[in-house]
Structure 1
């Protein structure tokens, strides 16, 4: 399948509409080599960025500052996302007071994917840190929405399996309110991988009841 066929999908939740602001390009201007993925095994430059530790798309793999969406898109909006309602709600003075956020006069208004917070690459893979903590007995739940094209659940499934732990709870459905809500695989050392059926990148946004359900069970130490 050519990447051209999926470029207009909402990458965060493929079943939802891709919202376009009037001033926002309909698609991200991805590097030309991106469209050749799957057509050749040549070491295209984009492969390193996509399968390395780059975030977001087109961010540098080397150590250093990670560009934010506003920086990548020249201060335009985050692709496909309509944050109009969220922006009004979070910036409401009563809401800010309720969630104990500083006054807007102190820290400014809330923005989706703001460029006021900077991140730096200073480590490679995080798998060794997960293994270090779980091998010491800390419980870990790694979950993914199964309609997220930005960080597909298949990649998350692959890296949790790559840790090398023995499977103690074979791939099976888990339920919420009497319905199959996704699938789960449990490993020894209390590592669990879980998918949420129909959820996109931000699971509680798309499946709030199911998210509350599995997370409540996990915190209580109950089977999911």
Structure 2
């Protein structure tokens, strides 16, 4: 795979695990970058994320010009984009973890705490669980993937939901709109399922 792929470094992702998974899936042109100017020439963008919504959002927006560069390349340039875990949640309008924080607003919705009334349902949602594809969602297949999150994406337009999982309640496992795809699970920790998913992302021509 010779596409130039930007793996965005904003201090809030397990970059090396994602980088290694992309390489294992067939990518050869992956660069870890925090330089907005480098975004203009890439063919694909991956935004990882681990931690609290607000902290991740602040870290991303603290890089001068990064959000504008992503907007230009993804929303206007149409390059394939993948958000992973909090990187997916940042697509939302708002996150309410430790206060109210504005996200990128690319896919409408709010990131809220997972709630459960059953003591058998542990929070955070951690470990292997199903991925149930909805409709003709791009790249995704039914299977099992690895999750680790205490907050979930409550999506405004249900047509943007690409897959769900079940943990006490139905939770969004993936969102998709045009060239934008986000997954709540960690493909880099999801073994064969995750690598096969990343391989499809590397071939995706939305």
Bigger Rg over Cα: 1
Name the structure where strand makes up a greater proportion of residues.
2
| Higher-RCO chain (CA-CA 8 Å, sequence separation at least 6) | 2
User: When the two structures are superposed, what TM-score results if normalisation uses the length of structure 2?
Assistant: 0.33
User: When the two structures are superposed, what TM-score results if normalisation uses the length of structure 1?
Assistant: 0.31
Name the structure where helix makes up a greater proportion of residues.
1
